Structure 1
Amino acid sequence: MTRPGFHLAIPVDDLPKARSFYGGVLGLAEGRSADKWVDWNFYGHQVVTHVVPGAHGDSGNNPVDGHDVPVPHFGLILPIPEFHAVADRLKAAGTEFVIEPYLRFAGEPGEQWTMFFRDPAGNALEFKAFKDETQVFAK
């Protein structure tokens, strides 16, 4: 039996830029590909970048902890040291953050580091890291 995981297909308008970002900046391993799509190993899950011409990005925003969170978005929950390592890679690559890395809900249930950024096609990603991983769904 295989481990459960997710599969997500996202639109991009430039496959070389997607390869540079997902493979280069984020350091994801590339899987199968064709002229119009690439599979990525997104920390054990499958994200596929499909070429779809035109604009991509937000449908809107929702206020969370004093910030406008872009919707839709997808991302990962990482251990805290890995979260900061990815944040450093993004900063070194000159990535513009939608929401800079910061500690959200400090001292409350679900305390977490979070950051939001976009890929070259405008897709929003959120990476986060919980102080206590048992609190991912805490109320």
Structure 2
Amino acid sequence: MARPRFHLAFPVDDLESARAFYAGVLGCATGRETQHWIDFDFHGHQIVAHLAPEECQRAETNPVDGKDIPVRHFGLILDWDMWEDLAVNLTDAGADFIVDPYVRFENQPGEQATMFVRDPAGNALEFKAFRDEAMIFAKEFPKAETA
């Protein structure tokens, strides 16, 4: 194993809808599964959709750049070209965007593309890309608007 991989388990209310989104729309390969859960290969990371309808609920939000960003979310940092391709694929698939694809801090240090979508169970996912990957963990970056 060249690098650690994360494992994330999350609730869904319908396994076939989860399969359609994660395998169909996002292109994640499936792994093991039972009648209660499905493993997905999320770009080398293991995520597991567990059937738990009672756990599916909308996350609280915080304002960022004048948008309501779900506090509870997960996602990936992609290469810029991969992010652009995914934005097109999600748009074409009629994804439930929480925040449409856009670029923050354009032409500034920390320039990043971001978008938020909901899976069919309401889980929030963020996909982002940085022009300069050195900015991923930068301690300072441009101030974002909060309202």
Into which bin does the TM-score normalised by the smaller protein fall?
over 0.9
Contact 1:55 1:121 in 2 (8 A): no
Q: Is the CA contact 1:57–1:124 (under 8 Å) kept in the aligned structure 2?
A: no
Using the TM superposition, give the Cα deviation of residue 65 of structure 1 relative to its aligned residue in structure 2, in angstroms: 1.8
| Structure 1 portions without partners, runs of 5+ | none
Unaligned runs of 5+ in 2: 141-147
- SS in structure 2 opposite 1:4? coil
Shift of 1:55: 5.7
Residue aligned with 2:56, SS: coil
Amino acid at match of 2:32: R
Indicate yes or no: 2:25 matched with 1:25.
yes
Aligned-partner SS, 1:121: coil
Partner of 1:56: 56
> SS at the partner of 1:122?
coil
Query: What SS class does the counterpart of residue 54 from structure 2 fall into?
Result: coil
Aligned-pair distance for 1:59?
Answer: 3.1
User: Whose strand proportion is higher, 1 or 2?
Assistant: 1
How far is 1:109 from its partner? 3.0
C-alpha displacement at 1:105, in angstroms?
Answer: 2.0
Q: How far apart are the structure 1 equivalents of 2:109 and 2:64? A: 15
TM-score (norm 1): 0.94
Q: Paired residue for 2:86?
A: 86
Identify the residue that residue 144 of structure 2 maps to in structure 1. none
Rounded to whole Å, the distance in 1 between the matches of 2:110 and 2:36 is 39
What SS is found at the alignment partner of 1:35?
coil
User: Where does residue 66 of structure 2 map in the other structure?
Assistant: 66
> Aligned equivalents of 1:32 and 1:3: distance in 2?
22
Contact 1:65 1:105 in 2 (8 A): no
Pairwise CA distance, 1:106? 2.0
Percent sequence identity over matched residues? 57
Partner of 1:46: 46
RMSD across aligned positions (CA): 1.3
Name 2:119's counterpart in structure 1.
119
CA contact (8 A) 2:103 2:113 kept: yes
> 2:10: which partner in 1?
10
1:33-54 residue CA offsets vs partner (Å, 9 max, x unmatched): 1111011100010100000023
Which one is further off, 65-74 or 55-64?
Answer: 55-64
1:49 maps to a residue whose letter is: A
Give the total of aligned pairs.
139
